[in-house]
Structure 1
Amino acid sequence: MNLSKSLAATLIAGSSFFGAAAVAEEINVYSYRQPELLKPLTDAFEAETGIKANVLFAKNGLVDRLGSEGENSPADVLLTVDVGRLDAMKQAGIWQAIPTDITAKIPGEFVDPDGAWAALSLRARIFYVSKDRVSDEELSYADLANPKWQGRVCTRSGQHAYNIGLIAAQIANEGEEATKTWLEGVRDNLARKPTGNDRAQVKAIFSGECDISIGNTYYMGKMVTNDKEPEQKEWAASVRLVFPGAAQNKTHVNISGVGLAKHAPNLDGAKKFIQFLLSEKAQSIYAETNFEYPVLPGVEASDLVKGWGELKADDLSLAEIADKRDEASKLVDEVKFDEGPQN
């Protein structure tokens, strides 16, 4: 089977993705993660095992592609961010269980109960606050709805996967009605209609458009190390991070994760790849290069990340969050969150 030229152009492995020329010691990875984030991991995997990981990257459509390819799919594993996409893979039935001996060391809340997926790293959804205009040292998600912050909050679309995950966690922890009331309060505290990505919110704080935003932790690392766009370092210098309290005073986390394809043609190599991604070596690579939190207990975050504060992750099951995502999306539409303040 040959990939079309347009898809083949996205490969980062340096060889044909799948076909007669492929050798046994190769695996094929469908990935929503950016190629530059994966290369340190795939290089280390090949160096350790001799198995080449051919990576097909796309921003969208890989779950549908896996389904349409069926038994002829070349994919061995799927890598993605956000539990919603992993759950979509599960609901589509295009997975097989990851062996429990591979995921045994991972906390249970970060592994699908049926083995359909496993977390590889964690990202916390925290507050970016103005150094000059916000003195609060402690904040909770509930505080986002406090009238104190009216006209001072900014965020990306409520329908974005990162915010849907947070809202779904609120539903799981607080109930749907309480979450609806909270979401209305957050909406009415917005300084503008939700727009842009997480970094754009930090830019808005830098420019004085708002004072507090919601964002994933790793964006701070991306900004402070961004030599290609040094203005982002200025944005980052204008804010500090505050870790919010959720249930039991813990912070909502989402994941990057992996699924094992139902018809994986290179099954043994695929299992070795997942096992490697959950090893201390790979988890340290995640920590140092991607500014994410390792999911394997005992592996520390990078010094930069540790300097932002202590993460006390909510131990709510990610599978439960996935189950509440549809409810979260409906609430966002119901309260017209993306239209901005209604007061």
Structure 2
Amino acid sequence: MRLKLAATATIALALLPMSASADEEVNIYSYRQAYLLKPLLNAFKQETGIDTNVVFAKKGLAERLEREGRNSPADIVMTVDISRINELVERDLVQTVDSEVLNKNVPENLRHPEGKWFALTTRGRLIFTSKDRVEEGEITTYEELADDKWDDRICTRSGKHPYNIALISSMIAHHGEAETEAWLEGVKDNLARKPQGGDRDQIKAIAEGVCDVSIGNSYYYGNMLQDENQRAIAEQVRLVFPNADGRGTHINISGISLTKSAPNRDNAIKLMEFLSSAEAQRIYAEANTEYPANPDVDPSGLVAEWGAINPDKLSLQEIANHRNAAVKLVDRVDYDGE
């Protein structure tokens, strides 16, 4: 069976075979684009001599694994949020990994209780505010997004996007469904426009004066600062780490799981352990302007310049367990409606 390695706009990658019986290789299904993984996989190859093959997709990898069943060539799935990785667990598509290395390198709240997924990097779900129209310290918590003072001043992407679902799930975990529903209604009432676009678009909307406050992942801001065409836009907003003085800022993860079929299981676990190591964590986190999951590795580059993050210590699995309730709340308040 041959699968094509995904090509991206910034790097052209050759076609690589994926075989369910090949030696000294690891086959990866990834929701993260292949060029972002390339430095890591090159380092892994140099250290171990093991080749890696990547198939990138924006969606549908769980369905693909289900179709392929035990004949799937995939050893590993790499995801970009807790919802997608938990979907693999719920569909019984991944297996337990009992690794002292992974358990040492990845904190308990950033891994599945039975070892079915492990975080590689984290990112904060931050509040962005206009430097011109919002005073520093004027908003400091997620809860304040529902305050009447922000009426017609907030922009967000769809409430049903996995990043917002994870945030809403964390609110349910901390406050319960009834209080979170009231909060979500308040946020919707404060929207300056119907939810649309991605996280970068919310920062652009602040720069254009459409709104004064938005929600977004920290790495999008970092990526914009590194893009000469978007830097001036990003520089018009201020970063707020919500609830930093309390329970901590909600974080999401990029993560990794071992598939149930995993024809190259031993090599795949070697890769998982390598990705949790200090060397790989520095490469991965800096390349994507994210925070290392390994607590022994300090943030670097732009992320370090933003200052320390006080992350919510809530288990990401507990957040994932509230996903269905969060989706229902988004529907109930018609968050994405006019």
CA deviation digits over 1:118-139, x for unaligned, max 9? 1110010011110111113251
**1:64 aligned residue:** 63
Q: For residues 85 and 246 of structure 1, what CA distance do their matches in structure 2 show?
A: 26
Cα RMSD between the aligned structures? Answer: 1.7
SS of match in other structure, 1:213: strand
State the shift of 1:26 in Å: 1.0
SS of match in other structure, 1:30: strand
Q: Does the 8 Å contact 2:289/2:303 carry over to 1?
A: yes
Q: Aligned letter for 2:27?
A: N
TM-score (norm 1): 0.93
Matches within 5 A, 1:1-343: 1-3=1-3, 7=4, 10=7, 14=14, 16-19=16-19, 23-105=22-104, 106-137=106-137, 138-227=139-228, 230=229, 232-245=230-243, 248-340=246-338
State the shift of 1:8 in Å: 5.1
Q: For residues 201 and 238 of structure 2, what CA distance do their matches in structure 1 show?
A: 15
Unmatched segments (≥5 aa) in structure 1:
none
Q: Does the 8 Å contact 2:5/2:13 carry over to 1?
A: no
State the shift of 1:328 in Å: 0.3
Q: Does the 8 Å contact 2:5/2:56 carry over to 1?
A: no
CA distance change for structure 1 residues 176 and 123 in 2, over 3 Å: closer, same or farther? same
State the shift of 1:37 in Å: 1.0
State the shift of 1:238 in Å: 0.5
% of aligned pairs identical?
50
Q: For residues 281 and 167 of structure 1, what CA distance do their matches in structure 2 show?
A: 33
TM-score (norm 2): 0.95
Q: For residues 9 and 278 of structure 1, what CA distance do their matches in structure 2 show?
A: 24
CA deviation digits over 1:38-87, x for unaligned, max 9? 11111111111111110011111111111111111100000011111111
Q: For residues 178 and 36 of structure 2, what CA distance do their matches in structure 1 show?
A: 39
Q: For residues 128 and 49 of structure 1, what CA distance do their matches in structure 2 show?
A: 42
After superposing on structure 2, the runs of 4+ consecutive aligned residues of structure 1 that deviate more than 6 Å are none
Q: For residues 308 and 62 of structure 2, what CA distance do their matches in structure 1 show?
A: 35
Q: For residues 244 and 159 of structure 2, what CA distance do their matches in structure 1 show?
A: 18
Q: For residues 113 and 280 of structure 2, what CA distance do their matches in structure 1 show?
A: 23
Unmatched segments (≥5 aa) in structure 2:
none
SS of match in other structure, 1:120: strand
SS of match in other structure, 1:68: helix
Q: Does the 8 Å contact 2:155/2:213 carry over to 1?
A: yes
Q: Does the 8 Å contact 1:30/1:77 carry over to 2?
A: yes
Q: Does the 8 Å contact 1:173/1:247 carry over to 2?
A: no
Q: For residues 182 and 161 of structure 2, what CA distance do their matches in structure 1 show?
A: 20
CA deviation digits over 1:234-269, x for unaligned, max 9? 210111101000794300000000000111111111
Aligned residues: 333
Q: Aligned letter for 1:74?
A: P
Q: For residues 15 and 335 of structure 1, what CA distance do their matches in structure 2 show?
A: 46
